[in-house]
Amino acid sequence: MTASFIPEHPVVTAYTKMPEAFAQAEAISEFLKERGIPAPCGSLYDEELRNRVKRNEFDMLIAVGGDGSVLRAGHLCAPCGVPILGVNLGRLGFLIQIDRKEWREYFEKLFNGEAWIENRMMLRAEHIRAGEKLGSSNALNEAVVARGQNLRPVRLTASVDGRRLTSYVADGLIASTATGSTAYALAAGGPILPPELRNILLVPIAPHLSVDRAVVLSEGSSVSIVIKSENSVLSVDGQPPTPLMEDDHVDVTAADVTAQFVRFGDPGYFYRNITAHMNENSLGFPR
């Protein structure tokens, strides 16, 4: 846990496809203005607002929505070191500590100096073909190499720090952060990792007669996934997939940027949050 955190120039954002998120965001903005803290309010996709975040005009971004909104905020805020405070309008909120009914209480705590900053590792996924880098993306949750529209499993090999680990015949392979261990990796049968860990988690998806266990790599390790069949795609944090060809590489390492989150109470909040949500059905919860 770091020293207490009190923002001076926050911005409030809402998810475009959730009308109730805008109403809640405007209420938060007004709440802050009444306390003498100007807090612009807008869409997470507004280009001018995003540019202002990138120019470090704000020292905290409030994301109103679900876990997906916080993921998008993480991609925007991590490169410029802006902490994120989520207000949950979704059903689960693994990434979010504050519920829609509690934000006034938590904002009072925030400006009383009761908040702290939690740092979470992100991944860097690079798509390489014939030695040429075709693209790269940061991930807060995971990078996934998986089958495309064809229902046949894909064939992959994974190497860790340049040494071959194993081969997979599966629907895909997830390279996840500790944060992502409660997302797709959890659904695929992987373990839950504490959020402060800086390890990469490998989880196969529906493996067929191949390694069916998750592997937690040592901190600082990198993994190279080589595609050994056609019909493969790469998706990072659920973004639209990138087609892959046979012999393409997807190299995954710890990113050089870190996602920062505003938290309250002791670090045990994570386990309390997990316990509260483990038996809930995620179908239909807003992203």
Same domain? 247 vs 130:
yes
Same domain? 69 vs 89:
yes
Q: Can you tell me whether residue 72 is helix, strand or coil? A: helix
233 belongs to a structural domain: yes
Catalytic residue numbers read 67
Same domain? 236 vs 129:
yes
* Conformational region of residue 152, where left means phi above 0, alpha means psi within -120 to 50, and beta covers everything else: beta
Same domain? 207 vs 270:
no
Same domain? 66 vs 138:
no
> The domain that contains 229 carries what CATH number?
2.60.200.30
| Number of structural domains found in the chain | 2
Same domain? 15 vs 80:
yes
> The domain that contains 78 carries what CATH number?
3.40.50.10330
Could you tell me if 24 and 64 are in contact, meaning their C-beta atoms sit under 8 angstroms apart? yes
94 belongs to a structural domain: yes
Same domain? 73 vs 137:
no
287 belongs to a structural domain: no
Please give the chain's pLDDT, 287 residues, in tens. Answer: 456 899 999 999 998 788 899 999 999 999 999 999 999 999 999 999 999 999 999 999 999 999 999 999 999 999 999 999 999 997 767 899 999 999 999 999 999 999 999 999 999 999 999 999 999 999 999 999 999 988 899 999 999 999 999 999 999 999 999 999 999 999 999 999 999 999 999 999 999 999 999 999 999 999 999 999 999 999 999 999 999 999 999 999 999 999 999 999 988 888 887 777 766 654 454 44
What is the token pair recorded at 157?
């090999």
Same domain? 41 vs 110:
yes
Could you tell me if 238 and 167 are in contact, meaning their C-beta atoms sit under 8 angstroms apart? no
C-alpha–C-alpha distance, residues 161 and 274, integer Å:
32
State the residue range of the domain holding 155. 122-256
C-alpha–C-alpha distance, residues 167 and 282, integer Å:
31
